[in-house]
């Protein structure tokens, strides 16, 4: 009786989800309420978790609640700790959530909310959550080892090295793109620059407090830090209003780039307790708080979506990023649908704290569903603002011009009618000089969030506050990621270089540390600089490169999962990972190929290089170059991007070949050959 | 009622600390006393520093 009732309940939920999705699909002509999207997404997530997530757990993987987990076996109260599943869910979610799921959907909104929404929901259910969950499970069964180690042991040493090298390159691209988002948000914005700069002394103060004054008391000082941040935002408004002080904090993109590069270098060689750790605490709590606040805001305000469901830019002529819906939409929304980077987190700290295998689905699959929900909220935030404002913010100046009058005329021409007054008024509402050509997602999201939150709290008068709150919130965890990422990149590099020059592995030595850090910073700094001077806005070039790299890492992780299924002799279920792997390979290889060879200079790197070469031969100078030498630089950069893209494709194809070989070999064997740790029974008192 | 609230507060505090990579100190002390009676558990300050170094010392960065 009970089970019939419960099935009925799930059935009703499924019908609600399908109905909302149908409503969204059929109402393209008129504006609809954001809640239709939210309810559709949440119902589908719940049903997917109950029926697909648990199917993978019980049938595909065969999780065993009686099996020993590393947390219990190696329990040391530090790295290995059996942890309450809700607490661990929080830990895992805080580790995977970042800027990615916020930015991708905002950019994708140029095609309308509907295609993005479909990909976010279907991608997470069939690919992203599957990857996170299975990697978590596989790592748990192997003493909580890392992705690189897992690939080494299941596929071989060479593919393991290739994957590590790929992960390092991806890290560099991620850091450059994240830093670019900050530059785009802070350029010519004294208010934003002041508040973000203020986080440095605030974090140092917190660091000293937690080290010497009241060691380890995170809670109290984080609350103080939070109020100082709010104070910094309020003070930022005063700074921006004062012409003298505003000048001190007004920088263009290039200046900010240099500041970020120098900052990145210094921050990542300082002791962690001084700057990195306290800011990480602050940004983690702020992130979780803001995500909850945004969710409550959307439900409470129930805003109408202004963006059409599908815009005419599905044909690939959009201004924010170039390329057709297939494959580029699936590259643009990376995190939130599927993110290869999560494979590193799922094989990081989480598997060492899993109390019981039967909680892996809740944490791995469920955690990713939550991240996907964040992506849905970002999509909603980008779609509640006037489409004219959206396109003014996300189109490069080379296409729409710089003056509000020209911009409004150009965008109205595209069919998104807007007056120059609205653009100026919006800028004034959020306390900025201009909102034109602020690509990169963060400012658009901030306007959307300010729109939603100020409707709930404070009204229009508070809009500027909420805008800068949102900018600060993103900049805070991006800077943390840049700092931690540079550090991690340095360790990876020292490890890789150490294979050739053994003395490089000495992470405690000064010289190798400084050299490896400098190499890391130069690598992402170079790409960042190139993005900042790009006439098409940088995001246009770099975001797809990041998306391709991230999705390829996911394909690598899913290939590893497929190999493990074959080795477990569970190949009859291998479609669960083969399906998303094949889809990701189709998308990323097509996108990679087009980024290199497409005839349109706005898409293909080689075509763009050829365009500049031809102009240089004629003695012409094309923007952004100002001299013949800079023309050569642009040409070189395009070849560099093409080479990077080609390298990513080589990495993924070679892993695929190794993967297929490993699968065939495992298939021919009569017995399971996977290298999981030997079965031990979980002690009875440890049962969760 | 107040006891429940205090319990919930402690639980949320534990969840918040775990989000930034600091596991429960009492559990650590209890575990060390029970399983490794020969070792002296670290003080909270030492424990906190050890966790901080461990969180940022490895090759895994923050997620995008």
The Cα of A404 is separated from the nearest Cα of chain B by a number of Å equal to 33
* Average pLDDT over chain A, rounded to an integer: 93
DSSP tag of A304:
B
> What is the mean pLDDT of the segment spanning A495-511?
80
Asked if the Cβ–Cβ distance from B19 to A288 is below 8 Å, we say yes
Among A364-378, A389-403, A413-427, A528-542, the minimum mean pLDDT is found in A528-542
Q: How many CB pairs under 8 A join A and B?
A: 133
pLDDT value at A386 more than 90: yes
* Segment A507-533 mean pLDDT: 90
How close A107 gets to chain B, by Cα (Å)?
15
The helix/strand/coil state of A354 is strand
Say if CB A266 and CB A194 are below 8 A apart.
no
Nearest to A312 by CA among A414, A439, A419, A387: A414
Inter-chain touch B63–A285, beta carbons under 8 Å: no
Residue B64 pLDDT level (bands cut at 50, 70, 90): low
Q: How far apart are CA A633 and CA A629, in angstroms?
A: 6
Q: Which residue of A has its CA nearest to B59?
A: A488
Kindly list the residues from chain B whose CB atom is less than 8 angstroms away from the CB atom of residue A226.
none
Candidate from B31, B50, B64 with C-beta closest to A100: B64
Residue A201 has pLDDT above 70, yes or no: yes
A340 vs B contacts (CB less than 8 Å):
none
Task: For B29, name the nearest residue in chain A, comparing CA atoms only.
Answer: A77
Q: What is the pLDDT of residue A537?
A: 78
Q: Give the pLDDT of residue A687.
A: 45
Token representation of residue A544: 């797809």
What pLDDT score was predicted for residue A1?
60
Of A585, A568, A579, the closest CA to residue A663 belongs to A568
Tell me how far apart the alpha carbons of residues A368 and A96 are, in angstroms, rounded to a whole number: 8
Residue with tokens 């407090």: A209
Question: Which residue, among A626, A638, A623, has the nearest Cα to A536 in the 3D structure?
Answer: A623
The DSSP-derived string for A68-105 is --HHHHT--SSSS--B-HHHHHHHHHHHH-SSHHHHHH
What residues in A contact B61, CB-CB < 8 Å?
171, 481, 484-485, 487-489
Of A218, A285, A345, the CB nearest to B63: A345
- Residue A499, pLDDT > 80, answer no
Best to test chain B binding among A277, A495, A497 (most B CBs inside 10 Å): A277
Residue A310 backbone dihedrals phi, psi, to 5 degrees: -135, 125
Cβ separation B20–A218 shorter than 8 A: yes
Band of the pLDDT at B63, cuts 50, 70, 90?
A: low
Q: Which of B14, B49, B60 sits opposite A87 (nearest CB)?
A: B14
Question: Phi-psi bin for A448: left (phi > 0), alpha (psi -120 to 50), beta?
Answer: alpha
Distance CA A93, CA A134 (A): 16
pLDDT tier for residue A153 given thresholds of 50, 70 and 90:
very high
Q: How far apart are CA A524 and CA A519, in angstroms?
A: 9
Among A339, A361, A362, CA closest to A61: A361
Phi, psi of A621 (to 5 degrees): -115, 120
| Interchain contact, A342 vs B14, CB within 8 Å | no
- Identify the residue with better confidence: A667 or B62: A667
Q: Are the beta carbons of A272 and B57 separated by less than 8 Å?
A: yes
Under a CB-based contact definition with an 8 Å cutoff, are residues A686 and A67 in contact?
Answer: no
Q: Residue A688: pLDDT band by 50, 70, 90 thresholds?
A: very low
pLDDT of residue A686: 66
Q: Is the peptide bond before A108 cis (omega within 30 degrees of 0)?
A: no
The C-alpha atoms of residue A441 and residue A563 are separated, in whole angstroms, by 37
Q: What percent of chain A has pLDDT over 90?
A: 81
**How distant, in Å, are the alpha carbons of A354, A426, A439, A512, A552 from that of A467?**
38, 11, 15, 42, 34
Number of residues assigned to chain B: 64
What is the mean pLDDT of the segment spanning A115-125? 97
- Residues with Cβ < 8 Å from A445, sequence gap 6 or more? A102, A103, A106, A378, A381, A382, A470, A474
Residues in chain B closer than 8 A to A146 (CB atoms): 60
Q: What is the dihedral of CA A230, A233, A235, A238, to 10 degrees?
A: -150
How far does B41 lie from chain A, in Å, by closest CA? Answer: 10
Q: What pLDDT sits at residue B60? A: 61
Checking if the pLDDT of A238 tops 80, the result is yes
Task: Tell whether B42 is within 8 A of chain A (Cβ).
Answer: no
Q: Which own/partner contact pairs does A457-461 have at CB distance under 8 Å and 24+ positions apart?
A: A460/A429
* Bond preceding residue A279 cis, omega within 30 of 0: no
Tens-place pLDDT, residues A38-87: 999 999 999 999 999 999 999 999 999 999 999 999 999 999 999 999 99
Q: Which residue of B has its CA nearest to A287?
A: B19
Q: Do B20 and A487 touch (CB under 8 A)?
A: no
Which residue of A96, A281, A353 is in closest CB contact with B63?
A96
What is the predicted pLDDT for the residue at A277?
93
Q: Cβ contacts (< 8 Å) between A491 and chain B: which residues?
A: 58-59
When CB atoms are compared, the residue of B11, B29, B61 closest to A484 is: B61
Write down the pLDDT at residue B61: 58
The Cα–Cα gap between A252 and A668 comes to 61
Taking CB atoms and an 8 Å limit, are A341 and B63 in contact across chains?
Answer: yes
**Closest CA relative to residue A408, chosen from A390, A388, A425:** A388
Measured between alpha carbons, how far is A482 from B46 in angstroms, rounded to an integer? 27
Rounded to two decimals, what is the model's pTM? 0.95
Chain-chain contact of B28 with A81 (C-beta, under 8 angstroms)? yes
CA distance, residue B37 to nearest chain A CA (Å): 13
Q: Are A542 and A605 in contact (CB under 8 A)?
A: no
Q: What is the pLDDT of residues A668-681, one digit of tens each?
A: 999 999 999 999 99
pLDDT at A98: 86
**Taking the C-alpha atoms of B2, B4, B5 and B7 in order, what is their torsion angle to the nearest 10 degrees?**
120
Residue A76: list chain B partners with CB under 8 A. Answer: 31
Using a pLDDT cut of 70, give the percent of chain A over it: 99
Closest CB to A218 among B17, B29, B55? B17
Identify whether the C-beta of residue A100 lies closer than 8 Å to the C-beta of residue A303: no
pLDDT at A636: 92
Taking a C-beta distance cutoff of 8 angstroms, is the pair A206, A221 a contact?
A: yes
Are the beta carbons of A213 and A492 closer than 8 angstroms? Answer: no
Give chain A positions within 8 Å (CB) of B17. 218
Which of B10, B42, B52, B64 is the best mutation test for A, with the most CBs of A within 10 A? B64
Looking at the complex, report in whole angstroms how far the Cα of residue B39 sits from the nearest Cα belonging to chain A. Answer: 12
pLDDT of residue A507 exceeding 80, the answer is no
Comparison of pLDDT for A602 and A576, the residue scoring more: A576
Predicted local confidence at residue A627, as pLDDT: 87
**Tell me: the pLDDT tens digits for B5-58?**
999 999 999 999 999 999 999 999 999 999 899 989 999 999 999 999 888 876
Average pLDDT score over residue span A318-333? 93
Residue scoring higher pLDDT (A526 or A505):
A526
Cβ–Cβ below 8 Å for B58 and A477: no
Put simply, the chain B residues between 22 and 41 with a CB less than 8 A from any chain A CB are: 22-24, 27-29, 31-32, 35
Given a cut of 50, whether residue A377 has pLDDT beyond it is yes
């Amino acid at each position: 009786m009970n089970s019939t009732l419960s099935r009925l309940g799930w059935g009703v939920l499924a019908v609600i989800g399908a109905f909302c999705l149908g409503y969204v699909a059929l109402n393209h002509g008129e504006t609809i309420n954001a809640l239709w999207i939210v309810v559709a997404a949440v119902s589908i997530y719940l049903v997917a978790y109950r029926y697909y997530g648990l199917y993978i757990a019980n049938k595909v993987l065969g999780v065993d609640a009686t099996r020993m987990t590393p947390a219990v076996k190696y329990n040391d109260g530090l790295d290995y700790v059996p942890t309450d599943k809700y607490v661990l869910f929080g830990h895992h979610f805080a580790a995977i959530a970042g800027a990615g799921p916020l930015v991708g959907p905002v950019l994708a909104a140029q095609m309308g909310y509907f295609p993005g929404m479909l990909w976010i929901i279907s991608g997470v259910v069939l690919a992203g959550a599957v990857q996170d969950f299975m990697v978590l499970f596989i790592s748990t069964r192997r003493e909580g080892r890392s992705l690189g180690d897992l690939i080494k042991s299941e596929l071989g040493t060479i593919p393991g090295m290739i994957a590590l090298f790929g992960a390092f390159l991806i890290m560099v691209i991620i850091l450059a793109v994240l830093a670019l988002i900050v530059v785009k948000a802070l350029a010519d914005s004294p208010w934003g620059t002041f508040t973000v700069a203020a986080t440095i002394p605030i974090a140092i103060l917190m660091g000293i407090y937690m080290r010497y004054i009241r060691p380890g008391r995170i809670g109290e000082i984080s609350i103080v830090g939070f109020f100082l941040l709010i104070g910094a935002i309020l003070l930022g408004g005063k700074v921006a209003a004062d012409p003298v002080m505003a000048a001190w904090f007004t920088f263009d993109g290039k200046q900010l780039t240099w500041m970020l590069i120098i900052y990145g270098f210094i921050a990542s060689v300082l002791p962690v307790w001084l700057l990195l750790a306290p800011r990480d605490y602050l940004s983690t709590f702020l992130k979780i708080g803001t995500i909850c606040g945004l969710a409550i805001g959307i439900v409470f305000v129930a805003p109408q979506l202004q963006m059409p469901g599908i815009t005419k830019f599905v044909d690939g002529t959009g201004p924010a990023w170039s390329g057709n819906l297939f494959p580029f939409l699936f590259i643009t929304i990376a995190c939130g649908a599927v993110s290869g980077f999560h494979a590193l987190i799922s094989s990081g700290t989480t598997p060492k704290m899993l109390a019981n295998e039967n909680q892996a689905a809740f944490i791995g699959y469920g955690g990713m569903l939550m991240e996907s929900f964040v992506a849905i909220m970002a999509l909603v935030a980008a779609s509640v603002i006037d489409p004219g404002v959206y396109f003014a913010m996300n189109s490069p100046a080379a296409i729409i011009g710089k003056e509000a009058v020209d911009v409004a005329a150009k965008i109205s021409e595209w069919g998104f009618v807007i007056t120059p007054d609205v653009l100026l008024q919006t800028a004034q509402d959020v306390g900025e000089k201009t909102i034109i050509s602020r690509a990169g997602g963060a400012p658009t999201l901030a306007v959307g969030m300010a729109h939603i939150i100020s409707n709930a709290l404070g009204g229009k008068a508070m809009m500027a506050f909420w805008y800068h709150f949102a900018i600060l919130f993103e900049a805070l965890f991006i800077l943390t990621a840049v700092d931690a990422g540079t550090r991690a990149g340095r360790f990876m590099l020292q490890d890789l270089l150490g294979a050739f020059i053994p003395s490089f592995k000495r992470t405690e030595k000064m010289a190798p540390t400084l050299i490896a850090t400098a190499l890391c910073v130069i690598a992402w700094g170079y790409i960042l600089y190139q993005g900042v001077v790009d006439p098409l806005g940088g995001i246009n070039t770099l975001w797809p490169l990041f998306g391709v790299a991230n999705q390829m890492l996911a394909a690598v992780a899913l290939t590893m999962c497929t190999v493990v299924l074959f080795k477990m002799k569970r190949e009859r279920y291998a479609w669960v990972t083969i399906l998303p792997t094949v889809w990701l390979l189709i998308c990323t290889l097509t996108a990679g190929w087009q980024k290199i060879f497409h005839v349109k200079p706005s898409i293909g790197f080689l075509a763009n290089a050829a365009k500049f070469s031809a102009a240089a031969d004629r003695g012409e100078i094309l923007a952004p170059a100002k001299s013949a030498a800079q023309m050569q630089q642009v040409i070189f950069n395009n070849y560099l991007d093409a080479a990077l893209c080609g390298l990513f494709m080589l990495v993924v194809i070679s892993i695929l070949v190794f993967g297929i070989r490993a699968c065939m070999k495992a298939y021919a064997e009569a017995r399971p050959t996977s290298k999981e740790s030997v079965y031990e029974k979980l002690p009875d008192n440890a049962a969760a | 009622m107040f006891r429940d609230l205090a319990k919930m507060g402690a639980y949320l505090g534990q969840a918040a600390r775990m989000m930034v990579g600091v596991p429960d100190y009492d559990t650590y002390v209890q575990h060390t006393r029970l399983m490794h009676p020969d070792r002296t558990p670290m003080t909270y300050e030492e424990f906190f520093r050890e966790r901080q170094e461990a969180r940022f010392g490895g090759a895994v960065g923050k997620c995008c």
